Amino acid sequence: MRRLALLAAFALLGPAAALAQSAGEVERCFQNPAACASGGGGAAPAPAHTPPPVATRQAPAPDYATVLNSSEADRRKIQESLRTLDKYNGPIDGNLQSEATVKAIADWQKGRGTAAVGKLTPPEAAQLNAEAARAPIRRIEPPAQTAAAQPSNADRLKALQARLAERRKAAEPKANAAAQALIADLKAYVSADGKGVAGDQFAAFAKWYADNKAAGRTFGAIAPVIDDYGDAKAGAATTTEVKFETKQGTNTYNQCLMFAWVEGSPRKNAQAFSCDDVAAVEKWKTDQTLKSAWR
Amino acid sequence: MIRTIIIALIGIVCLGASAGAQSYGKAERRDPLFLRFPEMADRYWERSETSNASSKVVAIPMPKQCAFLYADAYTRGQMSPREVQETALSSCNRRLAELGPLGENYTIDCRCQVVLNNETYIVPRELLPDDAYGPVSIFYRDDRGNMARLSGVARYGALIGRDRSVTFTVENPRGDQVCNGTMTNEGPANGQFSLSCFGGKFGGRGSYESKTGAPNDHIIARGQTGRGQPVVMVIGLPAQLATNTYGAI
């Protein structure tokens, strides 16, 4: 009889505890914590002999056995998911306790910020499979005889870095030409004492120049450092940091402006920013839909 | 004659009032405002190009719980002090506007205000941020795949990344404290976090990372509840931006 009473109590308490963790209940508790703090929010009121709240109960040991003892198809599926997520490169044999699979699971767990135990609970397995299903790029399964010869992730990373370097190298002549053309215009503007296309196109630069001149400064070296380059919706876009050396008496000042424009004659969507204003520069790139060939 | 005297009196009163309103004490390098925004502190106090400026101004969104970004402006005489203040203010407003609406996090109106002018506070100290504040979003997916999106305001110690451990609290938009937690750093910009809400009925733990730069400096914390369900917490981005950036869990 006492056992029956205990079972009945657990049957009542179980759903209440589950409700406290449902997304809807969590949102309700967030909006109205007072209604939640005392007895499970929208859940049925707890009986008088309520045990300690959920948080103070001893957490049950994680259930790893269920996944390890699941069907071979399920275990293979987990390995396939790990492979899709680029965590696993071994055979799809359903052995979740092989060294490579354990390491792959641990890597995946580490990437999510959870303890890297190398074994999965049922919810984790479901999350892993769901994450793999959402992965945008699906691996093309190689023929069985060549599977073992697949390159490692480190090799792939090297190859990717090499491709990026190649792409940047290809873009370099155009980016440099664009930056040098700007520097020529900036120097011409300074030589003409505040007249020329650079000031017409970059209003912020014209103001900066006028302010410095009014402060009695002279202008020295002007040097560019390319920040980004690539195709945008209106053409080839460049962002370049330009360092200006200005002098006043014996003092030398190093100042910096970021120039951004789309190639054209005249330059299109041209703007100059403070070099500190990273957010504005990145927004400009977003507005131009710049696809970087530089980074 | 009477008109001249009245105008002169009004002028004196206005000057007196503005002079009084513009000084609430000298700023110091170790003030919470500078601990909260170390890059700005570096420019304001350390870097010679800016720290020696003839005019240096900081604007932040106010009231203090809105102060999750800043704008600083400097001049070496090219701009008038008024122009520098306007530059800081417009830059702050632009940044705030670029990050999108704050209505899901705050019920108050966050507006940029110049708070510091040439190392002197121009708003009362008790109104300035005494800790770090920021909009917070918490994303949680339950075991049925349903998503909870919680938006409010987080308050935490200003020294994340320097103190070994920093506690934080989360308030819902009505101002009720609903969660608290701890961030324990492992490196300059990362560590472990724990979160407990509604008297322990909901919580999670995992790791966090501080991200600087565009669109705004923020903290992204990813973890799990005790039942293994994913929880993501973002501090420093308005709810919509946080959802678009990190909401897909």
If one compares B21 and A108, the residue with the highest pLDDT of the two is A108
> For B111-130, what is each residue's pLDDT tens digit?
999 999 999 999 999 999 98
Whole-angstrom distance, CA of residue B174 vs CA of residue B151: 11
pLDDT band at A114 (very low <50, low <70, confident <90, very high): confident
Task: Check whether A55 has a pLDDT greater than 60.
Answer: no
Note whether B181 and B195 are within 8 A (CB).
yes
A120 → chain B, closest CA residue: B228
Q: Which of residues 209-228 of A touch B (CB under 8 A)?
A: 211-212, 214-215
Which of A23, A214, A277 is opposite residue B142, by nearest beta carbon? A23
**Which residues have CB under 8 Å from A160's CB, separation 6+?**
none
Look at residue A140 in the predicted model and tell me its pLDDT.
43
Quick one: pLDDT at residue B20?
40
Question: With helix as H, strand as E and coil as C, how does chain A read?
Answer: CHHHHHHHHHHHHHHHHHHHCCHHHHHHHHHCHHHHHCCCCCCCCCCCCCCCCHHHCCCCCCCCHHHHCCCHHHHHHHHHHHHHCCCCCCCCCCCCCCHHHHHHHHHHHHHCCCCCCCCCCHHHHHHHHHHHHHCCCCCCCCCHHHHHHCCCHHHHHHHHHHHHHHHHHHHHHHHHHHHHHHHHHHHHHHHCCCCCHHHHHCHHHHHHHHHHHHCCCEEEEEEEEEEEEEEECCEEEEEEEEEEEEEECCEEEEEEEEEEEECCCCCEEEEEEECCCHHHHHHHHHHCCCEECCC
Cis peptide before B61 (omega within 30 of 0): no
Q: Cα distance from A214 to chain B (closest Cα, Å)?
A: 7
- Per-residue pLDDT at B36: 87
Per-residue pLDDT at A16 exceeds 50: no
Q: Give the 3-state secondary structure of residue B164.
A: coil
- Beta bridge partner(s), residue B133: B155
Pairwise CA distance, residues A240 & A205, whole Å: 13
Cα gap B235→A183, rounded to integer Å:
41
What angle separates helix A153-191 from helix A203-214, to the nearest 10 degrees? 50
Which residues sit opposite B140 in a β-bridge? B148, B231
- The answer, yes or no, to whether residue B14 has pLDDT greater than 70, is no
Nearest to B224 among A20, A55, A114 (CB): A114
Distance CA B51, CA A199 (A): 28
Cβ contacts of A111 on chain B, cutoff 8 Å: none
Partners of B213 on chain A (C-beta within 8 Å) are 278-279, 282
pLDDT-based confidence at residue B13 (cuts at 50, 70, 90) = very low
Q: Mention every residue, 6+ apart, whose C-beta is less than 8 A from residue A123.
A: B143, B227, B228, B229
Give mean pLDDT, residues A202-207. 93
Mutate which: A19, A29, A257, vs B, most B CBs within 10 A: A29
Of B176, B221, B226, the CB nearest to A33: B176
Cβ–Cβ gap B197/A26 under 8 Å: yes
Which residue from A minimizes the CA distance to B222?
A113
pLDDT at A183 over 90: yes
Q: Which residues of B134-153 are buried (b: 16+ CB within 10 A; e: fewer)?
A: bbbbbbbbbbeeebbbbbbb
Question: How far A3 CA sits from the closest chain B CA (Å)?
Answer: 27
Place of tokens 């480190």: A154
Q: Is A111 on the interface with B (CB under 8 A)?
A: no
Query: 3-class DSSP state for residue B151?
Result: strand
H or E element, residue B61: strand B55-62
ipTM of the complex model: 0.84
Q: Which residue has the higher pLDDT, B7 or A34?
A: A34
Which positions in chain B touch A215 (Cβ < 8 Å)?
Answer: 76-78
Of A36, A40, A278, the CB nearest to B213: A278
Is A21 within 8 Å of B229 when comparing Cβ atoms? yes
pLDDT at position B27 is 94
Task: Tell me what pLDDT residue B18 has.
Answer: 40
Strand partners, A287: none
Q: What is the DSSP letter of B118?
A: T
Chain B's closest residue to A36, CA to CA, is B198
Sequence-distant (6+) residues with CB within 8 A of B237 are B99, B135, B137, B215, B216, B218, B245
State yes or no: pLDDT of B68 exceeds 90: yes
Rounded CA separation B70/B115 (Å): 10
Closest partner CB to B147 (pick from A23, A215, A278): A23
Percent residues over pLDDT 70 in chain A: 78
Q: Is B25 left (phi over 0), alpha (psi -120 to 50) or beta?
A: left
Q: How far apart are CA B160 and CA B210, in angstroms?
A: 9
Mean pLDDT, chain A, as a whole number?
78
Which chain B residue has the Cα nearest residue A279?
B214
Confidence class of residue B2 from pLDDT cuts 50, 70 and 90?
Answer: low
Nearest neighbour of B201 by CB, restricted to A36, A123, A278? A36
At residue A100, φ and ψ (nearest 5 deg) are -65, -40
The pLDDT of residue B97 is 92
Torsion angles phi and psi, residue B5, rounded to 5:
-65, -40
Return the residue of B nearest to A34 by Cα: B198
Place of tokens 């404290």: B177
Percentage of residues in chain A with pLDDT exceeding 90? 26
Nearest CA-CA partner of B152 in A200, A243, A84, A31: A31
Task: Please answer yes or no on whether A127 and B230 come within 8 Å at the CB atom.
Answer: yes
How does residue B9 score in pLDDT terms, banded at 50, 70 and 90?
A: very low
Closest CA to B65 of B106, B30, B101: B106
Stretch (H or E) spanning B178: strand B177-187
